[in-house]
Amino acid sequence: MDPLILGDHQFDSRLLLGTGKFADLTTMLDAVHRSGARMVTVALRRFNRERIEDDLFEPLSRLPDVLLLPNTSGAMDAREAVLAAQIGRELTGHGLVKLEIHPNPHHLMPDPIATFEAARELAADGFTVLPYMPADPVLAKRLEEVGCAAVMPLGAAIGSGQGLATAHLLRLIIENSTVPVIVDAGLRSPSEAAAAMEMGCDAVLVNSAVAAAGNPGGMAAAFAEAVRAGRHAWQAGLMGRGETARATSPLTAFLGR
Amino acid sequence: MQLTVNGEVCCLEGDDRLTTLLREQGVNDRRVALVVNSRVLSMADAAEYRLCENDRIDILTLAGGG
């Protein structure tokens, strides 16, 4: 057992799955199942009696051992994010929240100042705060200091599939963090998830990479294996890089030379 | 009385109970969160809540998201 620990919660999977952008509910539930994720993110939406099928509370809350992690997407500032977190707590009955404030729909970059302000208020109010953030080692430390249970730096822009564009900054965040680091956003392929885990990330969150795949269930399973492989590799310790070749076979005493 | 429900103006006649409004909105037994005038209202408090003229009520649930 190698649990991911977030506040008072433990999870036996290091892959978190988002539930957006799936073609239909059946496909999404199959992907959740095959991902082995123990935590799936959900968004808040106004109730609409004309679109009852969009209400995911009932189908998702029936999944055994899967915790619903509400996000604050749609919040334009810290005040709205705090209210969204309170709504999420009311709906799910727990205080884990993925804090995300990205007011610009063009690039969806998180607002670092509003994120910090909301994180400080929510952590003081007893929430287990998981902030989506730019890959900024200074901000990561500040968020840790105000009581966040993890930090969630982006690999690349949401839904972009650009992979670990921020790898050099993620390394700095991992080196300095005393809370779990969850790479969130931008990943496209399982190999990128494995690379993030080999680097020492504690978990990975993907959504578009699975939802937009040709076979979402198959891709969810592939990500699950990649995250496990990357974690095992990090635990085993990668060899160092060298500038020159180092032989793996003896180069002498062959055929009489 | 006039209310704003999920951003739209509507009228509720003859009853000032929030539970009546929820029934009219088709919520029934669904799990929802309620925000009344920008404050989250617990479901326990919602059972007792009496609506006032111009109250702003948001009824929220969960949807797919990353």
pLDDT at A257: 58
One-letter amino acid of A166 = T
**Average pLDDT, rounded, for chain A:** 95
Residue A254 has pLDDT above 90, yes or no: no
Which of chain B's residues have a Cβ under 8 Å away from the Cβ of A68?
Answer: 62
Q: How far is A85 from chain B (nearest CA, A)?
A: 10
Q: What is the pLDDT of residues A218-250, one digit of tens each?
A: 999 999 999 999 999 999 999 999 999 988 988
How wide is the angle at C-alpha A41 spanned by C-alphas A39 and A43, nearest 5°? 155
Give contacts of B 22-41 with A, CB under 8 A. Answer: 25-27, 30-35, 38, 40
Q: Which two tokens stand for residue B28?
A: 């029934």
Considering just the CA atoms, what is the radius of gyration of chain A in Å? 20
Which one of A14, A34, A89, A98 is the catalytic residue?
A98
Q: Is there a contact between B66 and A19 if contact means CB atoms under 8 Å apart?
A: yes
Residues β-bridged to residue B39: B36
Chain B positions in Cβ-Cβ contact with residue A208 (cut-off 8 Å): 66
- Testing the interface with B: which of A27, A45, A47 to mutate, by most B Cβ within 10 A? A47
Local structure of residue B54 (DSSP, 8 states) = T
Residue of B nearest to A210 (CA): B66
Q: Does B61 touch chain A (CB under 8 A)?
A: yes
- Average the pLDDT over A17-22 and give the result: 97
Name which of A19, A45, A208 is nearest B60 (Cβ-Cβ).
Answer: A45
Percent of chain A exceeding pLDDT 90 equals 88
Answer yes or no: A21 catalytic: no
Residue numbers of A between 224 and 253 with CB closer than 8 Å to B: none
Confirm whether the ipTM is greater than 0.90.
Answer: yes
pLDDT at site B11: 87
Sign for the CA dihedral angle at A32, A38, A42, A47 comes to positive
The distance of B5 to chain A (nearest Cα, Å) reads 10
B46: helix, strand or coil: helix
**Confidence label for A256 from pLDDT (cuts 50, 70 and 90):** low
Q: How far is A231 from chain B (nearest CA, A)?
A: 22
pLDDT one-digit tens code per residue, B10-61: 888 888 899 999 988 888 888 899 999 999 998 889 889 999 999 999 999 9
Checking if the pLDDT of A1 tops 90, the result is: no
